[in-house]
Amino acid sequence: MSNMNRSEKIYIAGHNGMVGSAIVRNLQGKGFVNIITCSSSELDLTNSQDVDIFLQKEKPDYVIIAAARVGGIYANNSYPAEFIYQNLMIEVNLIHGAYLAGVSNLLFLGGSCIYPKESLQPIREEYLLSGHLESTNEPYALAKIAGIKLCESYNRQYGTDYRSIMPTNLYGPNDNFHPKNSHVIPALIRKFHEAKVNNEPFVEVWGSGKPMREFLHVDDMADASIHIMDIDKKTLESEVDPMLSHINIGTGTDITIKDVAQTIKEVVGFDGEIVFNTKMPDGTKRKLLDVSKIENLGWKPAITLKDGLKETYEWFLENNKKLRG
C-alpha cells in the first residue's frame, strides 16, 4: 500500500551530496514533482533559527535528512569534534524544526557504524547499544544513534511518523574522491587511476586487506529510502518496534578489502601490483548487515558490485575532466 502522493512537497537536506543527489534522482524517476532543496551556502543546517524559519516558510509534507559530515578513518580521527558537533546539530535542528513546522513524515539516514565493534554477524537491528563502538568513528556513530533516538522519541511523545534507515557502506556518483579524507572505494579508485596515469609500479592499500565489508550502490540505497518512506505505517509497524525502529539497508553479502582492491584494479585497468600497508589500521574485521527486515518489506538491491564500480569509475573520469577543464 502506497503512502506518498507524487505531488506532495518533499524537502531533501543534503541534496548536493552523494546520498542526497541519488535520492533526488530516484524521486524524479518515480514521478515526484515537488522536490525542495536548499544549498549549504543558502541555509546553514547547524543554525537552528535559520532551519526553523526555512521549514516554517516551506512547510514540506516530507523531510529527508541526507545531510551529514562524513569521511573515512583518517577524517574521523582528525576531526572528531567537527564530526560529533555538526552531525548532532544538523539532525537536532531538522527533526525538531520539522516537528515545530507541523511536518509529520521524516526519514533519517544513519550508517552501519552505529553498531558495536564486536557485533555478531550478520548485524541485526537489535544489536544497537549492545556493546562498545569502533573507536575510530565513535563521535560520528554516537551522533547517528542520537538521530535514531530523536525520531523514536518524537514519534512516542508527539505521534509523528519519523523513520530511520541504516545503510551499509555506500559508493557511487558524487562521492568524495579525496585520497585521505574519503572512504575506501573512492580513495582506491583515485589511487589506482593516478597510478595508471603515472605508470607507477604499485598501489599502496591501507591495512592488511583482510577485513570484510559490504558495499551498496548509492542508487540502490536511494531506491530503498523511498521504498521505506512509501510504505504505509501499519505495514512498517509489522517489522519494527517503537523503540527499535531503524531498518538496515544493504546487500546481505560482503567481500574482503583485498578483493575490492583487485576488482577496482581491473575496472581501472592498472597493470602494477597491490601492496598492503599493514602499519595502517584495519578497523572492524567484518561488517555485514542483516537485511531480512527490508527484504520482508519487499525491497532488494539491483546493482552488482562490478557494474556499480564500472559506472562509478566512468563518473569519476568525467568529473575529473571537468575539474581539470
Identity of the residue numbered 20:
G
Q: Are 118 and 131 in contact (CB under 8 A)?
A: yes
Interstrand relation of 62-65 and 10-13 (parallel, antiparallel or unpaired): parallel
- Tell me the three cell numbers of residue 238: 509489522
C-alpha cell at 281: 589500521
**Pairing mode of beta strands 212-213, 255-256:** antiparallel
Q: Three-state secondary structure along 22-58?
A: HHHHHHHHCCCCCEECCCCCCCCCCCHHHHHHHHHHH
Q: Which amino acid is at 313?
A: Y
CB 133 within 8 A of CB 126: no
Is-contact 143 83, C-beta < 8 A?
Answer: yes
- 88, containing H or E segment: helix 80-100
Q: Verify whether residue 62 is a known catalytic residue.
A: no
Rg, C-alpha atoms of the chain: 19
For residues 294 and 249, the answer to whether their CB atoms sit within 8 Å is yes
Catalytic residue among 62, 74, 140, 171: 140
Cβ within 8 Å of residue 38, ≥6 positions away: 11, 13, 15, 54
Helices (H), the chain: 18-29, 48-58, 73-78, 80-100, 138-158, 184-197, 218-230, 233-237, 257-268, 292-296, 305-324
313 and 186 Cβ atoms separated by less than 8 Å: no
Q: State the catalytic residues.
A: 140
